[in-house]
Amino acid sequence: MPQLNPSPWFFTLLLSWLVFSLIIQPKLLSFTPTNPPSNKLLLTTKTTPWTWPWT
């Protein structure tokens, strides 16, 4: 069964991870986001219990 032979696929996997780790990832991490996150104040809302008409 040829799919059990890891010889050609291991090299492909290793090469693709090296390309991703060494070439693509630094290029993607160099971009700065257009909308940096800002510190927002969390507004707490007061909730009122629901009044059920049958109780």
pLDDT of residue 17 exceeding 90, the answer is yes
- Count structural domains, the chain: 1
Domain span at residue 8 reads 1-31
Q: Is there a domain that residue 36 lies in?
A: no
Amino acid type, 53: P
Within a domain: 2: yes
- Cα torsion angle, 8, 14, 17, 21, sign: negative
Q: Specify the pTM.
A: 0.46
Q: How far is CA 9 from the centre of its chain?
A: 26
Please tell me the distance from the alpha carbon of residue 50 to that of residue 47, in angstroms, as a whole number.
Answer: 9
Taking the C-alpha atoms of residue 32 and residue 46, their distance in angstroms, rounded to an integer, is 38
> Does 50 map to a domain?
no
Q: What digits encode the pLDDT tens for the residues 25-48?
A: 888 888 877 777 777 777 788 888
